[in-house]
Structure 1
């Protein structure tokens, strides 16, 4: 009986690993496109992204026994390209150096007692609010990618054209996902993605003519591998870049990872995957890509039943094989991926019901975190502003003694981060 259960879990983990990979494979192409604006060739960026994802994810499974994947963050790659390189004037080689140094700092933090101190210092309700806020961000991104929500001149956003073929495909795929999920079908997301991709061919959203078997220019990778530079390490822009990246990767990883470890029932083992998330950023700097985070798309694999390193190994191997699979994976349309993102967002938002009733200060801080993460399109902005307001209101109400010393330090760092970012033109 026990052996049967183990075999079933291995099968479930493999399916979960496939699901997480498919839900996140768009990152390879998207990240390369953004990094190309920093002067890194798309071929080099794609290969660097693939190797970083594969190695980091395998390490995550090996040392933390979790089903989690690690990928370049969508958002911090924009900070890397459009702010650190294009606005602050650092070369992409300098920027990679800043990523590597940030990874070292992150790993040191994750390897010490600072990690449990940070976790214990943050009120439980605020940690749940971060998960809910990230859920709303993913939901919003999914709605945008599907075409269900579009830009509106009068109201900023509005309902899109539901008769559009790709939007309709997204709606149908989402309904399939929800039905299979409610019926507890194993591998529901992977099955839904396959059905949605077949429907896209039938509906004419994609065609087999879209398959381009052209391979990568593998030689381009040598230009970015170990291409990081430290010659400007003592310059103000380099120091600001390191500080900005460190703040983002530490707290974005902490926020996302906490919710995922809670979902798989391993919160007490938080520090192991958190440490690998730090090492992953050192790997990203060496391999030539932007900073990494524990992927929000992990919730797709978790919802498919992923629990162990088998799921991570599966995803890691598939990332490596994607050097050859990319032409086929390009057949999966945005309409299908967007329905997965919408579903993941819904699952994460359910964490709202784990929030305990607090006082008015808790409520204000939670609302700010939950709303500002999607509205600013930035996880750390939402966390920072929520934490700052929480601390200031506690002090103003004469309840400053209820705040832990670590929370005071965090608030000070977030305020300093805003001041530095404004002075360098990162925030206008």
Structure 2
């Protein structure tokens, strides 16, 4: 049984094995396990039962990740997206007064549209429209984004009214423990220890327990709680609330966050083909769209690919087995979520920081001597962390690239082949104009 599975997932082609893939799956899960508690906390403010949303979060993350691994054979895990859950709660439900049932209906509609765009080949065209010169820039920008999140969660950087951010209190217990974890993982990586991320996270957590810095309060809930949100979506209400804007936002942000994450992880894992294409793209998008539909039916906001998947790739994950292991752990979390809640942010933040560092190494592939490539790449790299959005960074980079191609006459030679690039640039411009008016 093992040999056919190894052949299906391409272990020999990717130079991997079961031990590496399983460890990578554990690593990805640990770095993104926070979503099990953060997502329900945000959606609970809409009036949704927290136990039901917790179960829905675990269930759809498990379904999406396993489907991605088994069908598309990529080490990319899925879960309800941060940012999209905040838009669902604070803009749609609390800001616009839309019932959470109708908002779930809007998420369902966006998932169905995703599926139609996938079957029609439009999503694949959009990915192909992104110049391969920007692939490394997207990966680098997401690397800085992940590192910024890690530094913030560790308390190494904190908000400042004078300078936006500044150095935190390095003597604070949680920050000191995070610095210990950073050093531990760095030493293990220097020694070429494959499980460095996982050992670093668990080692830092153990030290935190010994120092009485891990505070854990178990909560009681079961899979039966899911009945409070499952199939409660209101499609009729979604169609009568002027849902076009809401569906478009869910659609747009998820689409380009997903594309950005996909390009970055594939770039880091060396999964791109020689002509810079992403294999099995239709399967990837099918898994993503289906997971969003299942998430809306279960009772949670849009499901999307997670940038934390890069931590599993950094641990050696190269196939769908990594995502399947992550998905199985999410499924087990339905029953043991209180135990997962014991993993503190000071233990996971060092892994995020160093994964970010690994992802920026690809920036050396960019032709920095060519302003037509260097300027869009720079805008992509910097605006992803500075605007806290992968979609925004991709928008700035691609639009500026298209503008420079047109204004310098380069577009005349490649317009027929790259027409979708310019269509996409126009859509991005219209989006920026729309955002400026809201």
TM-score (norm 1): 0.92
State whether structure 2 residue 290 is matched by structure 1 residue 285: no
Q: Give the aligned partner of residue 189 of structure 2.
A: 181
| Whole-Å separation in 2 of the counterparts to 1:301 and 1:277 | 19
| Equivalent in 323, 331, 336 of residue 312 of structure 1 | 323
Q: Give the aligned partner of residue 273 of structure 1.
A: 284
SS at match of 1:37: helix
Higher mean C-alpha displacement, 346-355 vs 233-242: 233-242
SS at match of 2:162: coil
| Equivalent in 30, 42, 65 of residue 34 of structure 1 | 42
Residue 371 of structure 1: how far off its partner (Å): 1.2
Q: Is the 8 A contact 1:173 1:192 kept in 2?
A: yes
SS at match of 2:235: coil
Q: Give the aligned partner of residue 259 of structure 1.
A: 264
| Equivalent in 371, 376, 384 of residue 365 of structure 1 | 376
Q: Is the 8 A contact 1:376 1:382 kept in 2?
A: yes
| Whole-Å separation in 2 of the counterparts to 1:232 and 1:387 | 36
Residue 8 of structure 1: how far off its partner (Å): 7.5
Q: Give the aligned partner of residue 419 of structure 2.
A: 405
Higher mean C-alpha displacement, 390-399 vs 134-143: 390-399
Q: Is the 8 A contact 1:90 1:238 kept in 2?
A: no
Relative to structure 1, is the Cα distance of residues 275 and 168 closer, same or farther in structure 2, using a 3 angstrom cutoff?
same
Relative to structure 1, is the Cα distance of residues 289 and 227 closer, same or farther in structure 2, using a 3 angstrom cutoff?
same
Residue 344 of structure 1: how far off its partner (Å): 1.5
Q: Give the aligned partner of residue 335 of structure 2.
A: 324
Q: Give the aligned partner of residue 390 of structure 2.
A: 379
State whether structure 2 residue 137 is matched by structure 1 residue 132: no
Q: Give the aligned partner of residue 246 of structure 2.
A: 241
| Whole-Å separation in 1 of the counterparts to 2:189 and 2:355 | 12
Per-residue CA deviation, residues 200-230 of structure 1 (Å, 9 max, x unaligned), is 0222312xxx343432154442121112112
Q: Is the 8 A contact 2:147 2:354 kept in 1?
A: yes
Structural mapping, 1:115-126, within 5 Å:
115-126=123-134
Q: Is the 8 A contact 2:16 2:318 kept in 1?
A: no
SS at match of 1:243: helix
Residue 23 of structure 1: how far off its partner (Å): 0.9
| Equivalent in 82, 96, 110 of residue 104 of structure 2 | 96
State whether structure 2 residue 221 is matched by structure 1 residue 216: yes
SS at match of 1:111: helix
Q: Give the aligned partner of residue 87 of structure 1.
A: 95
The Cα RMSD (Å) is: 2.3
Q: Give the aligned partner of residue 418 of structure 1.
A: 432
| Whole-Å separation in 1 of the counterparts to 2:436 and 2:51 | 34
Higher mean C-alpha displacement, 24-33 vs 346-355: 346-355
Residue 233 of structure 1: how far off its partner (Å): 4.2
| Whole-Å separation in 1 of the counterparts to 2:206 and 2:390 | 34
Higher mean C-alpha displacement, 94-103 vs 163-172: 94-103
| Whole-Å separation in 2 of the counterparts to 1:111 and 1:358 | 40
Q: Is the 8 A contact 2:103 2:238 kept in 1?
A: no
Residue 115 of structure 1: how far off its partner (Å): 3.9
Per-residue CA deviation, residues 130-159 of structure 1 (Å, 9 max, x unaligned), is 111111111111101101001122211111
Higher mean C-alpha displacement, 174-183 vs 259-268: 259-268
Per-residue CA deviation, residues 284-310 of structure 1 (Å, 9 max, x unaligned), is 111111112211111111111112232
| Whole-Å separation in 2 of the counterparts to 1:324 and 1:34 | 21
Q: Is the 8 A contact 2:139 2:360 kept in 1?
A: yes
| Equivalent in 10, 15, 22 of residue 30 of structure 2 | 22
| Whole-Å separation in 2 of the counterparts to 1:265 and 1:142 | 24
Structural mapping, 1:194-209, within 5 Å:
194-206=202-214
| Equivalent in 58, 67, 82 of residue 59 of structure 1 | 67
SS at match of 2:356: helix
| Whole-Å separation in 2 of the counterparts to 1:8 and 1:129 | 27
Extract unaligned runs of 5+ from structure 1: none
Extract unaligned runs of 5+ from structure 2: 273-277
Per-residue CA deviation, residues 93-119 of structure 1 (Å, 9 max, x unaligned), is 121111111112222223343344323
| Equivalent in 385, 397, 400 of residue 389 of structure 1 | 400
State whether structure 2 residue 171 is matched by structure 1 residue 156: no
| Whole-Å separation in 2 of the counterparts to 1:330 and 1:184 | 30
Q: Is the 8 A contact 2:22 2:325 kept in 1?
A: yes
Q: Is the 8 A contact 1:233 1:239 kept in 2?
A: no
Relative to structure 1, is the Cα distance of residues 211 and 258 closer, same or farther in structure 2, using a 3 angstrom cutoff?
same
